[in-house]
Amino acid sequence: LAQPVEPDGRLMDPQKKCPICGKPTVEKYKPFCSKRCADVDLNRWLTGSYVIPARDDEPPIENDDE
């Protein structure tokens, strides 16, 4: 029986782990294992611990409709 593969060729983990603590995920809180880990993740987003990178060299979008 073949193991499932990610689109990039990596083998899929049959039991996904919580990205915060590494415990198995719980359906109710997916992709986390508990409300606590979900709240930890939310707090990291809200306090700026997680940042989506942006490029400063991109020109601003100008709207000519005005």
- The pLDDT value given to residue 11: 52
pLDDT digits (tens, 9 = 90+) for 10-44: 554 557 899 999 998 888 888 999 999 999 999 99
Question: What tokens does 46 get?
Answer: 């809200």
Measured CA to CA in angstroms, residue 54 lies from 37, 38, 57, 58, 62 at distances of 27, 25, 9, 9, 18
Average pLDDT over residues 5-13: 56
Give the pLDDT confidence score for residue 12 in this predicted structure.
46
Provide the pLDDT for residue 7: 62
How high is the pLDDT of residue 61? Answer: 76
Distance between CA atoms of 60 and 20, rounded to whole angstroms? 36
